[in-house]
């Protein structure tokens, strides 16, 4: 959008990724020590992370998963560094909050003060909720938002309770790649608990949205849902991004504190700017005895980042007792009943897709007929789920329908499902959107033609209206 472009035009010259990388930070021994802390140890040989890698916004590549012993090599190259969510001794819990601008992806980098200011109501609610449950996380500031991280010891009663919450469906574990990391033994001890954790984190995300959305100046949604235009003239929102819980445990990673943040270079944001820009370096930093404003200054300076590494511990805190309280709140919630009903719902015979599409509005039918990649987008998935619920289909039946589409090779999914699970992804997002409707967190205010057009998901507006579908969905 123009408003972001004007800010960019005040900058001067283009800076390539190689010019941007600050290798001096990685040469600091304190930074290396902090990396080991975040990996769960104090030496290469006693860390608990299963692997390290570098992705920075791109999908995980199994061939780039490396033993922690290769950490120094990654540092010498100045790479962005991630650790596996998969851990030998704990189940890691990760909550990701991001500012997202669909029209001006550079906005969070060009004007970070505004982008992070917009997130403040959401962060305040998260801190209050976690305090109520007695969870004290490690809090990191990234390029676009905040990460909250804690862990549950695998030998704890909280871990056993997570396993008991949601017995694992074998179809939700994708095939493991062949490498030297012995992934299988670690996945077996964590995958079932991770499935239960997904339900609990969905509940926590509901609570955050319920309390934060009324206080926020822009929409707050679960995952990066396309929204309408704000007062600034762009489509911007705050994402409570729990999408990692829709993929197998071994495929997901967390950005390392004090790591180079190369995302705007690697996802093409820098190159796409109309005017060249000279951004300072960006590092992921912990909020250790500093506020967000100070962290935004520190993260743009290699020297200040190194100084923070001298004094800021980034060991991931064990929070089993707090997790037990969070699970207790989840068990007594309406969402728990929805999850149980979802799993218990009988799966009816498959419906012929062409017949189904004839009964749907053109926007939803177009997505189902052209699922790659419209159905992969959260907004496309939500629109389809809303319409199918309005048609009278059960939530699990919808999940099975979408799973069948994801598994249909004719749509060219091969590169999407080489490591991820189509069944797990389909049921996760179906539960995510149907669950919000079930507990009245989603009252479908934007389930109309004008909003759908603004979101970019109207493909044939001639003679179509979503009003009857909204009434069917909400029974209004």
Tens of pLDDT, residue by residue over 319-329, are 999 999 999 99
Is pLDDT above 60 for 213? Answer: yes
Last-in-domain residue among 275, 295, 325: 325
Instruction: State the residue range of the domain holding 219.
Output: 2-325
Using alpha carbons, list the distances in angstroms from residue 347 to 198, 336, 386.
22, 20, 19
Last-in-domain residue among 304, 325, 346: 325
303 and 354 assigned to the same domain: no
Is pLDDT above 70 for 469? Answer: yes
Number of domains in the chain: 2
- What stretch of H or E contains 84? strand 82-84
Q: Where residue 8 falls among pLDDT bands split at 50, 70, 90? A: very low
**What is the pLDDT of the chain when averaged over all its residues?**
89
Q: Which residues contact 44 (CB under 8 A, 6 or more apart)?
A: 36, 68, 69, 71
pLDDT at position 56 is 65
Q: How many CB atoms lie within 10 A of CB 343?
A: 14
3-state secondary structure of 218: coil
204 and 59 assigned to the same domain: yes
Using alpha carbons, list the distances in angstroms from residue 371 to 11, 423, 438.
40, 15, 25
User: What average pLDDT does range 8-20 have in this prediction?
Assistant: 42
152 and 189 assigned to the same domain: yes
377 and 268 assigned to the same domain: no
Contact (Cβ atoms closer than 8 angstroms) between residue 172 and residue 424: yes
- Compute the distance between CA of residue 341 and CA of residue 88 in angstroms, rounded to an integer: 33
User: Minimal CA–CA distance to 81: which of 60, 58, 52?
Assistant: 52
Q: Which residues contact 51 (CB under 8 A, 6 or more apart)?
A: 65, 66, 67, 68, 83, 84, 86, 181
The CATH number covering residue 160 comes to 3.90.920
Is pLDDT above 60 for 67? Answer: yes
220 and 281 assigned to the same domain: yes
373 and 444 assigned to the same domain: yes
Q: How many CB atoms lie within 10 A of CB 357?
A: 17
3-state secondary structure of 338: helix
Contact (Cβ atoms closer than 8 angstroms) between residue 325 and residue 340: no
Last-in-domain residue among 301, 325, 349: 325
17 and 67 assigned to the same domain: yes
pLDDT at position 5 is 38
Q: How many CB atoms lie within 10 A of CB 443?
A: 13
297 and 373 assigned to the same domain: no
167 and 223 assigned to the same domain: yes
pLDDT at position 230 is 86
Tell me the pLDDT tens digit for each residue of 342-373.
999 887 677 788 889 999 999 999 999 999 98
262 and 357 assigned to the same domain: no
- Compute the distance between CA of residue 125 and CA of residue 430 in angstroms, rounded to an integer: 26
| CB-side neighbour CA atoms (13 Å) of 270 | 18
Buried b (16+ CB within 10 A) or exposed e, 51-62: bbbbbbbeebeb
Tell me the pLDDT tens digit for each residue of 374-411.
999 999 999 999 999 999 999 999 999 999 999 998 88
- Provide the whole-model pTM: 0.93
- Compute the distance between CA of residue 418 and CA of residue 409 in angstroms, rounded to an integer: 12
- Compute the distance between CA of residue 466 and CA of residue 426 in angstroms, rounded to an integer: 24
CA 208 to chain centre: 15
Q: How many CB atoms lie within 10 A of CB 356?
A: 18
Q: Where residue 204 falls among pLDDT bands split at 50, 70, 90? A: very high
Buried b (16+ CB within 10 A) or exposed e, 262-296: bbbbbeebbeebeeebebebbbbbbbbebebeebb
User: What average pLDDT does range 76-88 have in this prediction?
Assistant: 92
Using alpha carbons, list the distances in angstroms from residue 476 to 330, 390, 392, 395, 433.
28, 12, 15, 20, 19
247 and 307 assigned to the same domain: yes
Q: Where residue 207 falls among pLDDT bands split at 50, 70, 90? A: very high
Q: Where residue 87 falls among pLDDT bands split at 50, 70, 90? A: very high
User: Minimal CA–CA distance to 103: which of 2, 241, 220, 231?
Assistant: 2
372 and 246 assigned to the same domain: no
């Amino acid at each position: 959008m123009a408003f972001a472009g004007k800010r960019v035009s005040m900058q001067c010259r283009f800076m390539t990724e190689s010019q941007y990388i600050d290798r001096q930070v990685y040469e600091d021994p304190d930074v290396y020590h902090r990396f080991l802390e975040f990996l769960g140890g104090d030496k290469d040989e006693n860390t608990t992370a299963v692997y390290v890698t570098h992705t920075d916004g791109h999908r995980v590549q199994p061939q780039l998963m490396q033993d922690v012993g290769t950490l120094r090599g990654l540092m010498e190259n100045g790479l962005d560094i991630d650790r596996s969510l998969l851990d030998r001794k704990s189940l890691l819990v990760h909550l990701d909050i991001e500012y997202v601008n669909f029209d001006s992806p550079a906005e969070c980098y060009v004007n970070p003060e505004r982008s992070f200011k917009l997130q403040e109501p959401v962060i305040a609610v998260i801190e209050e909720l976690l305090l109520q449950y007695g969870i004290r996380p490690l809090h990191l500031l990234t390029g676009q938002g905040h990460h909250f991280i804690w862990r549950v010891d695998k030998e704890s009663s909280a871990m056993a309770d997570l396993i008991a919450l949601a017995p694992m469906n074998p179809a939700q574990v994708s095939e493991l790649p062949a490498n030297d990391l012995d992934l299988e033994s670690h996945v077996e001890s964590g995958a079932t608990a991770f499935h239960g954790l997904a339900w609990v984190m969905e509940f926590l995300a509901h609570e955050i949205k319920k309390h934060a959305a009324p206080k926020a100046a822009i929409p707050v949604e679960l995952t990066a849902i396309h929204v309408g235009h704000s007062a600034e003239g762009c489509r911007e929102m705050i994402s409570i991004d729990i999408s990692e819980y829709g993929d197998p445990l071994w495929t997901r990673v967390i950005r390392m504190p004090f790591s180079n943040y190369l995302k705007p270079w690697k996802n093409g944001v820098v190159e796409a700017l109309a005017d060249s820009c000279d951004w300072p370096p960006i590092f992921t930093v912990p909020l250790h005895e500093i506020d967000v404003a100070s962290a935004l200054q520190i993260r743009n300076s290699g020297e200040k980042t190194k100084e923070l590494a001298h004094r800021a511990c980034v060991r991931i805190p064990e929070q089993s007792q707090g997790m037990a309280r969070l699970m207790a709140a989840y068990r007594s919630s309406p969402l728990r009943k929805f999850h149980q009903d979802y799993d218990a719902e009988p799966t009816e015979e498959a419906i012929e897709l062409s017949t189904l599409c004839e009964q749907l509005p053109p926007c939803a039918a177009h997505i189902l007929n052209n699922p790659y990649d419209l159905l992969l987008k959260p907004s496309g998935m939500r629109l389809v789920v809303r319409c199918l619920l309005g048609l009278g289909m059960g939530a699990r039946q919808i999940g099975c329908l979408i799973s069948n589409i994801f598994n249909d090779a004719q749509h060219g999914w091969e590169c999407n499902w080489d490591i991820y699970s189509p069944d797990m992804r389909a049921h996760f997002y179906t539960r995510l959107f149907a669950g919000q409707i079930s507990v009245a967190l989603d009252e479908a205010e934007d389930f109309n033609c004008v909003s759908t057009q603004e979101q970019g998901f109207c493909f044939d507006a001639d003679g179509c209206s979503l009003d009857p579908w909204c009434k069917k969905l909400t029974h209004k």
